[in-house]
Amino acid sequence: MTMEASFWHERWSANEIGFHQSKPNALLEKHIGDLDLSSGSRIFLPLCGKTLDIGWLLTKEYRVAGAELSETAVRQLFEELGVTPAIAPAGTLTRYSAPDIDIFVGDIFELSADHLGRVDAIYDRAALVALPDEMRRRYARQVTEITDTAPQLLLTFEYDQSEMAGPPFSIDGLTVKALYDACYSSTLLEKSDVTGGLKGRVTADEIAWHLEKT
């Protein structure tokens, strides 16, 4: 199964964004401190959509960088932040920028380290779980390379994949280690039940991982 860009564009165009949460993620709020970041640190959110996590991080005096395929999502993000971005090309991508925030619109696999700039940590809530198996290794390698193996707060789901097709996909601990153990040591921080089930359909756990460069 290949996840084409058109799949996500169609989801945003039709406002089929059940993956968008109506409040900041509880595991982010609880475990951001595990990254041991100072005020003003720059956190990269791959495949960020218009997540409210960005506004929450900004209120905590972090700087934010993100990558998102859908320009619709990014426009809505800045509208909801109440900020007018400056818009400029960044290689084959487009950068939407405002004080303390830079979002790169386009294919994350075409985002370079030079355009992304310094990253102090990665917060991956929606990227790894959105990608089918055959894309995950390429994604893990890309994110590791463009951030110089920055530490990660990684959130995944575990559930019986036979009960529901992804995305979000079920990613177990063995998969996390297979993808990242070449560069990171991985620590399971917390496993919590998804209230009401994932998409209201299947019993699932949401898991927080801390990945540290080895």
Q: How far is CA 40 from CA 59, 101, 151, in A?
A: 11, 11, 16
Residues 19, 161: Cα–Cα separation, whole Å:
17
Do 136 and 53 touch, CB atoms closer than 8 A? no
Do 13 and 192 touch, CB atoms closer than 8 A? no
Residue 12 annotated as part of some ligand binding site? yes
**One-letter identity of residue 40:** G
Residues 104, 122: Cα–Cα separation, whole Å:
15
Chain-centroid distance of CA 71 in Å reads 16
Q: How far is CA 205 from CA 110, 169, 191, 208, in A?
A: 32, 12, 6, 10
Residue 69 annotated as part of some ligand binding site? no
Residue 125 annotated as part of some ligand binding site? yes
| Whole-number CA gyration radius for the chain | 16
Residue 68 annotated as part of some ligand binding site? yes
- Residue set of the binding site for S-adenosyl-L-methionine: 12, 47, 68, 125
As annotated, the binding site includes 12, 47, 68, 125
